[in-house]
Amino acid sequence: MVETAVQIEKQRPKRSRWKKTAMIMITGVLIILVISGTAAYWLMRKSLPVTTGTETISSLTSPVNAYRDKNGVPHIVAKNLKDLYMAQGYVTAQERMFQMDLSRRQASGQLSEVIGEKTVEKDRFFRTMGLRRAAEASFEVYSPEAKKVLQWYADGVNAYLKEAKKKKALPIEFTLVGYEPKKWTPVDSLTIGKYMAFDLGGHWEGQAFRQYLIQHFPKEKALDLFPSYPENGAEIIGKAMETKIDIKTRLASAVVPNEYNGSNNWVVAGKKTKSGKPYLADDPHLGLATPSIWFETQLKAPGMNVSGVVFAGVPGIIVGHNTKVAWGVTNVSPDVQDLYIEKRNPINPEEFLYEGKWEKAKIIEENIKVKDHKTIPYKVTVTRHGPIMSEFALDKKEDTVLSLKWTALEPSTELQAVLMFNKAENWNQFKKALTYFHTPAQNFVFASQDGTIAYRANGLIPIRGEKYASVPVPGWDKKYEWKGYIPWGKLPTVVNPKEGFIATANNKVIGENYHYHITDSWAQPYREQRIKDVLSSKEKLSVKDMKMLQFDRKNLQAEEMLPILLPLIERDKLDPNEKKALQILKDWNHKDDKERAAPLLFNLWMQEFSNVLFEKKIDQKMMNLFDGKAQVVDELIRRATKGQEGPWVKEAGGLQAVSNRSFSRTVKEVENIQGEDTEKWNWGAYHTLPFDHPLAAIKPLNLLFNPKETEMGGSRVTVGAAGWDPATGKVNHGAAWRTVVDLSDLSKSYNVVGPGQSGHVLSKWYDNQIKDWTTGNYHVTNTKEASFKSEEKLVLTPDQ
């Protein structure tokens, strides 16, 4: 029977019509998404940095040429210093404005103004610590010349901001977060500098952690986790035991820098190099993210020609070389912070006891603006020692509190030193510049074309009235006051040593007879020892040797620990995979190559060893404050092998029991992560590098801003550093900048910046250096104008 179209339509199920309606709706949504995506792409394209043609900056006095070479490195050539620094501010802002704004906001405690309630506690922390207040005080003590540089740089940033706002061409991140950046100021640059001092200095959190230990564990057990026994231990530990402060409630949520923040650097004398002139190598270890913390630049004007890297938002070149000298840094990580126990007047909460009298503290208004919410009233209390840190997380006045004294909270002039580095022509001039570099204390290595190589641990390192105590000290007793700083002439210094090289890697840099206290918490010695081993292994070293060493994967911790731990494993109690894992470790060459299973097993074993010792004993919230945990655990193992098992190892059943239990747990964890087929286990699949963008935490923006993840070798203790988040395995720490300089030709250097130069997601320089960074390759940065004049050229001109 033939049916009409009408009859067919009448008999069709209603769900077909719903299906048709749904398809129309889906199509409509897709059209909207396409339109939205097109609009978003157009906005992103519109905000791409202009790298060719001509742009006008009204305050310039003469035209400036800003070239970008094929790796996105700006080569800025100006006729005077004013125009040079203005152009540096402008060009850096083109590539990194969102990063610059977040950096100043985080350090200033102003994130909540644009983010909202989620960052209030972090803002309270940084408002309390007072990095911006310290920057404001520092600006006042700078020379007129340095103040001019800061203002010129700010003028350049603001010229970019004015133009970008006018053209509605700010980076897309500002649109997504929903705000526009304010004008840049000289204090913003100095605040970023103070944040880097925070990121690289301190140990206050270790003092707080040890106070927690003293309050919660028997004395012997607490002292077992101290980096060293205080010389005045009985007295100071007694005072700490009397102090009742809830460290977990008060400080567990404090912002604590990565404990592996540090670096490698070394210099080699011409007598040991193939070129006959010194080599210098430097690779600072900080957080790995998109964009890089470093921005590579060349600055050229009459009287100055310098190339290297700087933090986005700061003028000059912090690490690099000019036409005569080169320099690099690692962190000394000295004890420059002390927590003081303060007794509050129960009648007047703004007064604190000192030498038998009540002394009025300074109260500072630090009200916190919060996006879409009311401003939060907030006051910071500052005693004679510094801000009270134990009340930022809980705004409640206690009778006993902790204040922080820290060199970086005093006025300091690091930028002045940097500007002098940039022009230095020899060691004496460079050393004079170091008199202005106060914080963070750094291990500087230096090389010059005249053949000089040198080293200096430089910065303000306090001398205490009493020996360093490892725990908070009484703030009411003047005998615990600082008595000044290590005399400048007594800071550790080496010039042209007979070995023909100098190397540092945050290791112990002083001998037993050094008169002054620097720190008890040196980095594990493995990176520094490996560098020395390699530099000693040849009579003549090449630039290629330097590059290979910066990427070196040899794990000397495994070389030390496995001969101790492997014989303790009870083979007859192992399951089949545990036996295979044991053999994998026995056959290993101790290199943290990404293709191997052994690095996965060993590095997770070291984590599990600590977990077996401390879990369910030390509150998990306190582990963030456990400064130097890796070094402490290494020492517990060493002492145990000498028959000196401490209480933590004993209570866990002894070294053999801890080794077996942690080994078994490690294998089970690897099976959970990568399956039971041992042939498929490998370090790289777990140890991947995402180069996270600040907005990547907001899904699905990670798909837009994060580069493709890359498998990585190396570890925390290899020269080619690659630290990771223990919860995820993701690599988040290492040398975002690596440089090698041959002083025989200072017109070029060998460099890599991970992931790339630009912070703009559509830029060809956004993540173009990841492959080089993850494989140990470099680009050549040539400072001769002939090498980059044919590349992209932007001319910045004054108003006609």
The per-residue pLDDT for 9 is 39
Q: Is the pLDDT of residue 553 over 70?
A: yes
The string of pLDDT tens digits covering residues 743-785 is 999 999 999 999 999 999 999 999 999 999 999 999 999 999 9
Of the candidates 457, 413, 459, 418, the residue with the CA atom closest to the CA atom of residue 436: 413
> Would you say 690 and 289 are in contact if contact means Cβ atoms under 8 Å apart?
no
In the chain, the amino acid numbered 316 is G
Confidence of residue 115 (pLDDT cuts 50, 70, 90): very high
Contacts 24+ apart (CB under 8 A), 666-674: 666/581, 666/601, 666/604, 666/605, 666/608, 667/577, 667/578, 667/581, 667/601, 669/604, 669/608, 670/581, 670/597, 670/600, 670/601, 670/604, 671/577, 673/729, 674/600
The per-residue pLDDT for 238 is 65
Quote the pTM value: 0.93
Residue 725 is assigned to a ligand binding site: no
Q: Is the pLDDT of residue 2 over 60?
A: no
Q: Is the pLDDT of residue 229 over 70?
A: no
Cα 703 to Cα 338, 376, 577, 652, 695, distances in angstroms: 43, 34, 37, 44, 10
Confidence of residue 260 (pLDDT cuts 50, 70, 90): confident
Q: Is the pLDDT of residue 140 over 50?
A: yes
Please state, for a pLDDT cut of 70, what percent of the chain lies above it. 93
The per-residue pLDDT for 222 is 92
The string of pLDDT tens digits covering residues 478-511 is 999 999 999 999 999 999 999 999 999 999 898 8
The per-residue pLDDT for 409 is 97
Token pair 């210099």 in the structure block, residue: 267
Question: Is pLDDT larger for residue 42 or for residue 245?
Answer: 245
Q: Is the pLDDT of residue 7 over 60?
A: no
The string of pLDDT tens digits covering residues 567-606 is 999 999 999 999 999 999 999 999 999 999 999 999 999 9
The string of pLDDT tens digits covering residues 385-438 is 999 999 987 767 788 999 999 999 999 999 999 999 999 999 999 999 999 999
> Would you say 352 and 383 are in contact if contact means Cβ atoms under 8 Å apart?
yes
Q: Is the pLDDT of residue 30 over 60?
A: no
Dihedral sign for Cα atoms in the order 646, 649, 653, 659: negative
Confidence of residue 520 (pLDDT cuts 50, 70, 90): confident
Dihedral, CA atoms, 336, 337, 343, 349, nearest 10 degrees?
A: 120
The CATH number of the structural domain formed by 201-219+228-257+336-409 is 2.30.120.10
Q: Look at strands 473-474 and 337-343 and give their pairing.
A: parallel
| 480 DSSP assignment | G
The string of pLDDT tens digits covering residues 538-549 is 999 999 999 999
The per-residue pLDDT for 189 is 98
Q: Which residues are catalytic?
A: 263
The first and second tokens of residue 659, run together, are 């080794």
Instruction: Tell me the average pLDDT across 150-178.
Output: 97
Confidence of residue 379 (pLDDT cuts 50, 70, 90): very high
The SS3 assignment for 110 reads coil
The per-residue pLDDT for 329 is 97
The first and second tokens of residue 725, run together, are 């988040």
Weakest mean pLDDT among 9-23, 151-165, 781-795: 9-23
Residue 338 is assigned to a ligand binding site: yes
Q: Is the pLDDT of residue 449 over 50?
A: yes
Distance CA 503, CA 390 (A): 39
- In 144-160, which positions are buried (b, 16+ CB within 10 angstroms) versus exposed (e)? eebeebbbbbbbbbbbb
The per-residue pLDDT for 13 is 46
What DSSP string describes 734-777?
E-SEEEEEETT-TTEEEEEESS-S---TTSTTSSTTHHHHHHT-
Of the candidates 98, 122, 109, the residue with the CA atom closest to the CA atom of residue 178: 98
The string of pLDDT tens digits covering residues 672-718 is 999 999 999 999 999 999 999 999 988 899 999 999 999 999 999 99
The per-residue pLDDT for 250 is 87
Q: Is the pLDDT of residue 794 over 70?
A: yes
